[in-house]
Structure 1
């Protein structure tokens, strides 16, 4: 008896629609349930017999369909989001477009002993359902459409390699944010998105397999549910106004996705009362094309800041004849002047780039209250009133310290 706990789903992009690539490198899909499968029409003979029996039953056209259920995690569903939007990630931004992508899907029932590998060809992402609710993991479903399923096999396709899952933690609603028309909404309980590409099978005489399905308009709808505290959203529905919707979801590591719908129109909204409980306001909407964005939606990946390893310093111009020597994590600034109060400005570069700057701390100084160090605009400004060496330590609070020895010579 096969167990769902022993099941895996793999996908590989197809070069030619409905054809498994040579030496395919499959990616393991993180999922909570899969219903992809083959279905056929049934054709029954209408021939009449005196014994009342059915003469013949035939199988009709073949089609692949079903769902991939998932919990959103950073980087894990990027290829499928790209496919369902028919877009392409440009840097960390994805918008809806017209670039179609199909996959060969491989299901592995590892506890089957005869034919554990099941292959599906020409699989495309036709729909997306995404739900962010209070006190919940962000969940979604990709609805698929495909061409065919060959016979199940005892081994994976020839030359195939099977990847491993990403390790990012799932995203939740605890650290997310939402705004409509630029205003934060604090009492939202649920946001849902529903995207459909309108793909449908196309059959012709001479084949029981579909041509590549038609691609219709990208239709994006959704719904905002919130505690009823103001009539402002309902007024937007009444006046038929266009508003923007932006919401962000995060994981515990700080990775984020930001969903931006710059032009939505509410298609309903009424505060129904069904009892003595809190009144909930449900606002369905439809997204429209935005000329500035050139899409009705964008998804932006916001990776967590990289972990700081060290800083490096460079002179910001020439100040007091100062020189910088050494390499991170320990460098030395030498200033050959003590007749005035030398101030040296240094440009800070975090390693790796993008890491957060820590706070400077005076570790030792030649005399009490003779040195100051401040950070402003990514620059370190050091002032020392006495000859000697001041040791300045920059730290991010996680043990990644960088030492700068600031020396004034007599």
Structure 2
């Protein structure tokens, strides 16, 4: 008799049209994973009778729930549908401006300025943390189609840095130029929130067993960005029920994505608008706080209800001066931008996370013979100063994915 092997297991996902109802069998997406431990759990009840035979005479199964986690390595596009559901907003195209006269000049440090002759970056919807490219105009080849991270922004001047550390050539004004945000963006909105659920199938191909989990919502997301190694992501799940069969439910699902995996060594981290070269680790946790209670007469929870989306985490950094420490000491609000690329080429796929307003909740120093490391837990907050016509979004967290 064959036994199931994880190497033959496949995980597929598709959005539901109504909560807890499996969608049609076509059009699902196979997911990349490090592991998927999603499974059925049940509450159990043991009889409490006091009996003369001094034994337990009954034991029952109660409310069914789907619980577990999906863990993987972070890559553009791969988990975009899940991130959109967690942040409660679909990915949409970012800002773009055409027909500009643009001048590129060297800024301070490794930064450059991209100055437009007319119009306004702010009015057009560009934001700090956006990854943009110059895609049209008779620019020097060193300036075209490069990932440029916006680190500062006024109406006519975008301060940028190249994500792969290459240089730009000062020139301009260059006529008929185009600059645009790459891929698409999502963020936690202030209104019009989506409420998306999924069905997920574990297909054990070697033993022809299918388990379709319905009513899946992603309850927590944990991003782990170590200084070495691949960036990791974990999605905790809650769900309603499971259906089993010996035939595959999601027929001909789309193949897994082929985008590269991001790593913290390829990318940029900004705290308070400044590039950080002493940070030794970063975590970001997103919690949509779903909840649901059983009802009389049913062995499943009828729905999972959304709560506030909270964003927390921590970063660690070598103790080199007072800058980071005093953000905590003085209760100074700051910002965080992390932009991660799949490789070191100028136009690599990018995932960027921007937290426009955070407050540090602590500052602890290690001790020992090696370098002293500070640990800074943080709480992200609604950026009430952001929104239309400003350099930041009115949100807690923004995600940009250049591969969608």
Q: Distance in 2 between matches of 1:238 and 1:37?
A: 45
Does the aligned pair in 2 maintain the 1:7–1:110 contact within 8 Å? yes
User: Match for residue 263 of structure 2?
Assistant: 172
User: Match for residue 20 of structure 1?
Assistant: 22
Go from structure 1 to structure 2 and tell me whether the alpha carbon gap of 1:303 and 1:201 turns closer, same or farther (over 3 Å shift).
closer
User: Match for residue 135 of structure 1?
Assistant: 228
Does the aligned pair in 1 maintain the 2:73–2:232 contact within 8 Å? yes
Q: Which of 260, 274, 281 is residue 354 of structure 2 equivalent to?
A: 260
Q: Distance in 2 between matches of 1:231 and 1:271?
A: 13
User: Match for residue 7 of structure 1?
Assistant: 9
User: Match for residue 82 of structure 1?
Assistant: 84
- What are the within-5 Å matches in structure 2 for residues 261-340 of structure 1? 261-273=355-367, 275-291=368-384, 292=386, 293-303=393-403
Cα-to-partner distance string for 1:144-194 (whole Å, 9 max, x where unaligned): 1100112x211123x733221111111112221011111111111111001
SS in 1 for 2:81: helix
Unaligned regions of 5+ residues in structure 1, if any?
305-410
Q: Distance in 1 between matches of 2:204 and 2:373?
A: 44
Q: Which has the higher contact order (CA 8 A, sep 6+)?
A: 2
Cα-to-partner distance string for 1:184-233 (whole Å, 9 max, x where unaligned): 11111111001111112211111111021121111100111111111211
**Structure 1 range deviating more: 63-72 or 17-26:** 17-26
User: Match for residue 287 of structure 2?
Assistant: 196
Q: Does 1:104 pair with 2:199?
A: yes
User: Match for residue 186 of structure 2?
Assistant: 94
User: Match for residue 336 of structure 2?
Assistant: 245
User: Match for residue 329 of structure 1?
Assistant: none
Cα-to-partner distance string for 1:230-282 (whole Å, 9 max, x where unaligned): 12111111111110100111102611111100000000013231x21110111
User: Match for residue 38 of structure 2?
Assistant: 36
Deviation of 1:73 (Å): 1.1
Cα-to-partner distance string for 1:88-111 (whole Å, 9 max, x where unaligned): 111111101421110011001111
More strand by share: 1
Q: Distance in 1 between matches of 2:46 and 2:260?
A: 51
Q: Distance in 1 between matches of 2:213 and 2:314?
A: 33
Q: Does 1:121 pair with 2:123?
A: no
Q: Which of 64, 67, 73 is residue 65 of structure 1 equivalent to?
A: 67
Deviation of 1:22 (Å): 2.7
Deviation of 1:40 (Å): 0.6
Deviation of 1:294 (Å): 2.0
Q: Which runs of structure 1 show a deviation greater than 4 angstroms over 4 or more consecutive aligned residues?
A: none
SS in 1 for 2:76: coil
Larger radius of gyration: 1
Q: Distance in 2 between matches of 1:161 and 1:72?
A: 24
User: Match for residue 155 of structure 1?
Assistant: 247
User: Match for residue 181 of structure 1?
Assistant: 272
Deviation of 1:303 (Å): 4.8
Deviation of 1:25 (Å): 1.8
Does the aligned pair in 2 maintain the 1:72–1:138 contact within 8 Å? yes
Does the aligned pair in 2 maintain the 1:35–1:68 contact within 8 Å? yes
Does the aligned pair in 2 maintain the 1:202–1:214 contact within 8 Å? no
Q: Distance in 1 between matches of 2:32 and 2:358?
A: 31
Cα RMSD (Å):
1.5
- What are the within-5 Å matches in structure 2 for residues 370-409 of structure 1? none
SS in 1 for 2:266: strand
Does the aligned pair in 1 maintain the 2:76–2:402 contact within 8 Å? no
Q: Distance in 2 between matches of 1:270 and 1:51?
A: 59
Q: TM-score with structure 1 length normalisation?
A: 0.71
SS in 2 for 1:200: coil
